[in-house]
Amino acid sequence: SNGTVEQVESIVNTLNAGQIASTDVVEVVVSPPYVFLPTVKGKLRPEIQVAAQNCWVKKGGAFTGEVSAEMLVNLGVPWVILGHSERRSLMGESSEFVGEKVAYALAQGLKVIACVGETLEQREAGSTMAVVAEQTKAIADKIKDWTNVVVAYEPVWAIGTGKVASPAQAQEVHANLRDWLKTNVSPEVAESTRIIYGGSVTGASCKELAAQPDVDGFLVGGASLKPEFIDIINAATVKSA
């Protein structure tokens, strides 16, 4: 929840002027707050797509303050982020509720970045994989087709704290998550689904993280408001080199 019209236009100008790897190397999606979506979509270079940060769990109606998947489709917004840890913790969104949201958004034709991840207490208790599996299962229980789903692993303890999961820690969870998909969904889905990392990703940490075999991209928070976002985008070239 950041930005003014002037700040958003400045970020758009930076992205429009930046040297970014081609779309066959990296898919770039930016997710401003709802109120800025039309501005960003209208002014941003066409190869960069836009996402909403959330949407409602079903058709619009008597749900004051909510934005429906249909509204996003109507605006030509192709992507939505669902189940972000801040919505789980601050808004009390359960894994089941997130699963329902993912299924509904997909049914309306949106592509979904679905977020999973553990808190510091859960990691220290050794339950990281149990938590991530439970969150992913709640989505798997509601959907059949994973074509338009990207899974974002965001360790809650590394969001905005400056703590970054080490490349080895990120790789371990991503590999376990892929194994979970292989066993519980299908080998094809495990192979084709992108699992991206979110948690204090910066220009300094991005290349080593991007080199991990099961890290397929990033969900970038605070650093996406800075010029180093271009460097993070271009970290994708590590895999194509």
136 pLDDT tier (thresholds 50, 70, 90): very high
* CA 212 – CA 66 distance, rounded (Å): 38
Q: How far is CA 61 from CA 15, 24, 67, in A?
A: 36, 39, 10
State the angle between helix axes of 167-184 and 128-140 in degrees (0 to 180), rounded to the nearest 10.
40
Q: Which domains does the chain have, with CATH numbers?
A: 5-10+23-239 (3.20.20.70)
- The pLDDT of residue 163: 80
Does residue 11 have a pLDDT over 80? Answer: yes
Q: Does residue 86 have an active-site annotation?
A: no
Confirm whether 154 is a catalytic residue. yes
Among 70, 93, 118, 154, the one annotated catalytic: 154
Instruction: Look at residue 241 and tell me whether its pLDDT is greater than 80.
Output: no
- Which pLDDT value is given to residue 33? 98
Give the pLDDT confidence score for residue 164 in this predicted structure.
81
Residue 42: count of CB within 10 angstroms of its CB: 10
Residue 149 has pLDDT above 80, yes or no: yes
| Other CB atoms within 10 Å distance of the CB of residue 76 | 11
Q: Which of 84, 93, 118, 174 is catalytic?
A: 84
Q: Which neighbouring-strand residues pair with 113?
A: 81, 150
Reported as a single tens digit per residue, the pLDDT across 177-198 is 999 999 999 999 999 999 999 9
Give me the chain's average pLDDT, please: 96
Strands (E), the chain: 28-30, 48-52, 79-82, 111-116, 149-153, 195-197
Structure tokens at 26: 């990296």
Cα gap 173→94, rounded to integer Å: 21
> How many CA within 13 A on the CB side of residue 107?
14
Q: Which residues pair with 79 in a beta bridge?
A: 51, 111
pLDDT tens-digit series, residues 57-108: 999 999 999 999 999 999 999 999 999 999 999 999 999 999 999 999 999 9
| Mean pLDDT (whole number) for 153-157 | 94
Q: 108: closest CA among 77, 63, 66, 152?
A: 77
- Cα(59)–Cα(145) distance, rounded to whole angstroms? 20
Given a cut of 80, is residue 126 above it in pLDDT?
yes
pLDDT over 80 at 240, yes or no: no
pLDDT at 221: 93
Q: pLDDT at position 5, please?
A: 97
Q: How far apart are CA 224 and CA 218, in angstroms?
A: 11
